[in-house]
Structure 1
Amino acid sequence: MDSPWYINELHIALRLSLAVLLGGLIGFEREQSNHAAGLRTHIMVCLGSCLLMLLSIYGFADFVNEYNVRVDPARLAAAVITGIGFLGAGTILHTGKAITGLTTASSIWVVSAIGLGVGAGFYFASALGTFMVLFVLWGMDKIEKRYVNGKRERIVIIVADDRPKLLQPVHELLLRQGVKIRKMAVRDDSASHEPSRLVIEAQVTLPKHVQEVPLLEELRKLDGVHAGSVE
């Protein structure tokens, strides 16, 4: 490839195949973790970014020597970085208690950058970036779960009798367990045939030592409590 504006078919195949491989490595990790954007999504993003980068650099080579024509090899690359945000936004979900999908959205964005790098022939940086991303997604996840993410955001839902001072024992039990109550709401149980039933919904932060099943068992022992769940 003596000319910076020319690439042969062998190198095109090499770059597209490498984009599939590197994007697939990150997508496989996301697939194993059961995220919305998995193996095929990451491969498609990386492959598409690589193809657009190839088109941006080499697709307009015939016009390089034309009068009053300026070729910008980064023009399509800039459009990819902007446009990939819409795909990443589709993986972000607001569930009412937390926002999920931010890591997957960022992995899609990084995969597009890896694809652009491969398309531009920036092999070392693209490969190194891939393994760095895998370390962050897999290795840092293990570290966070072990040392950082001790607390978990959950929603505790309790179905209980409509009776005076019902909330006090529930509140005391949660405090004894070290559970931090962020928000609590009480409403009538419209799904029940019993008119004297209430639904207590509490947004809580569970400490590391508190597990959902034992907590539910303790709540079920309270007088007047009929059912419970943790989401």
Structure 2
Amino acid sequence: MFEITKFSIFIRIILAIIIGGLIGYEREKKRKPAGFITHMLVCLGAAVIAVIQILVSQSSMGMVLQNPDLSSVVKIDMGRMTAQVVSGVGFLGAGTIFHTQGSIKGITTAATLWITACIGIAIGMGYFFLSITSAVFIVFIMLIMKKFEVLYIEREKQRVIKISYSGDIQTEIKIKRYFKNNNIKVIGAKYLRETDKNTHTEKETVYTLSLPQHMSTESLVSALKEFDEIFHISIH
């Protein structure tokens, strides 16, 4: 690992660009905040830092060999710079996570940025087999296992939706019946407003719902708009 030449540095840079690009390509196709270029730069940057760490260590060891008296002064820490990369990429990944329409998005992209940086460090350190094998499994997880998750693992999505509607208790029962028939769990219901305009009652309720994986927020809203009693829907 400590024997590093200009040619080996070149190989590490090229490998970091290729692997970072492979991981980023999948994110780019899905139009995620961090895509092809970002993942290449993260992987390359991590590899560069790892190479610098090796070069600094080589230089320090050379100084100690030439001047043994410096052995008590010069300290070599092979993990200091690379550790900063791992924590630093965490802030970059946090920038890809955002809250929209009652759900959290971008966590997978943040994870790919983090693992891309880890692979970049491994490449820079010269662990080529580890780097390539990890990249193969990452691509496998993102392409094959993701499809398996969507098809066979029923995950629930939590949404907060505010519904304004007119009518009596029967309207509320009708809405809840729709939730039940479509496997939508009502986690909570908060009644904000109820007015009576000459027996024409208007209500406003905030529902916290758990949607099945196959149902999108857009399809839920479209279905609820078919109710004559509902005149306004908003997602929080």
Do these two structures clear the TM 0.5 threshold for a shared fold by scoring above it?
yes
The reply to whether residue 204 of structure 1 matches residue 209 of structure 2 is yes
Unaligned stretches of 5+ residues in structure 2: 64-69, 195-200
User: CA 1:148 to 1:116, structure 2 compared with 1: closer, same or farther past 3 Å?
Assistant: same
TM-score by length of 2: 0.79
Report the secondary structure of 2:76's partner residue: coil
| Structure 1 pair 72–218 and aligned structure 2 pair: CA distance change class (3 A) | closer
SS of match in other structure, 1:158:
strand
Distance in 2, matches of 1:172 and 1:37, equals: 41
Q: Measure the CA separation in 1 of the matches of 2:62 and 2:218.
A: 71
Q: Kindly indicate whether residue 39 of structure 2 is the aligned counterpart of residue 42 of structure 1.
A: yes
3-state SS of paired residue (1:64)? helix
Query: Is residue 93–residue 109 contact of structure 2 (8 Å, CA) maintained in 1?
Result: yes
Normalized per residue, the structure richer in helix is 2
- Partners of 2:183 and 2:98 in 1: how far apart? 28
Distance 1:209 1:39 in 2: 28
Greater shift in the superposed pair: 135-144 or 81-90:
81-90
Q: How far apart are the structure 1 equivalents of 2:103 and 2:172?
A: 25
Letter in 2 for 1:204: L
State how far apart, in whole Å, the 2-side matches of 1:135 and 1:156 are: 36
Aligned to 1:136: 141
- Tell me how large the CA RMSD over aligned residues is: 3.0
Secondary structure of the corresponding residue to residue 129 of structure 1: helix
Q: Give the structure 1 partner of residue 173 of structure 2.
A: 168
More displaced 10-residue stretch of structure 1: 111-120 or 100-109:
100-109
Name the aligned partner's letter for residue 121 of structure 1. Answer: G
> What is the one-letter code of the residue matched to 2:44?
L
Determine the structure 1 residue equivalent to 2:56: 59
Once residues 88 and 214 of structure 2 are traced to their aligned partners in structure 1, the CA distance between those partners, rounded to angstroms, is: 43
Deviating more after overlay: 200-209 vs 12-21: 200-209
> Once structures 1 and 2 are overlaid, which stretch shifts more, 172-181 or 117-126?
172-181
* Rounded Cα–Cα distance in structure 1 between residues aligned with 2:92 and 2:44: 15
Q: 1:63-87 CA distances to partner (integer Å, 9 max, x unpaired)? A: 3232222333332122222222222
2:83 & 2:155 partners in 1: Cα distance?
39
Gap change, CA 1:42 and 1:209, over 3 Å in 2: closer
What's the CA shift for 1:172? 2.4
After TM superposition, the structure 1 stretch with the greater mean CA deviation from structure 2, 13-22 or 36-45, is 36-45
Q: Is the 8 A contact 1:88 1:105 kept in 2?
A: yes
Quote the sequence identity (%): 29
Tell me the equivalent position of 1:192.
none
Question: Amino acid of the residue matched to residue 39 of structure 1?
Answer: F
* Native 8 Å contact 1:216 1:228 kept in 2: yes
Distance in 1 (alpha carbons) for counterparts of 2:223 and 2:99: 30
Q: Please name the residue that 2:66 is paired with.
A: none
Which amino acid letter does the alignment assign opposite residue 41 of structure 1? T
* Matching residue within 16, 19, 25 for 1:28: 25
TM-score by length of 1: 0.81
Moved more, 171-180 or 201-210: 201-210
Distance in 1 between the 2:61 and 2:100 partners?
Answer: 51
Q: 2:81 aligns with which of 54, 76, 82?
A: 76
Change (3 A) 1:228 1:97: closer
User: Could you tell me which residue of structure 2 aligns to residue 13 of structure 1?
Assistant: 10
Tell me the CA shift for residue 204 of structure 1: 1.6
Match of 1:193 in 2: none
Q: 2: distance between equivalents of 1:26 and 1:130? A: 8
Counterpart in 2 of 1:115?
A: 120
Partner amino acid for 1:58?
L
State the Cα distance separating 1:43 from its structure 2 match.
Answer: 1.1
Aligned partner of residue 34 in structure 1, secondary structure: coil
CA distance in 2 between counterparts of 1:25 and 1:72 reads 31
The C-alpha deviation readout for 1:3-58, integer Å capped at 9, x for no partner, is x6453222211111110110111011111122222112211111110000000001
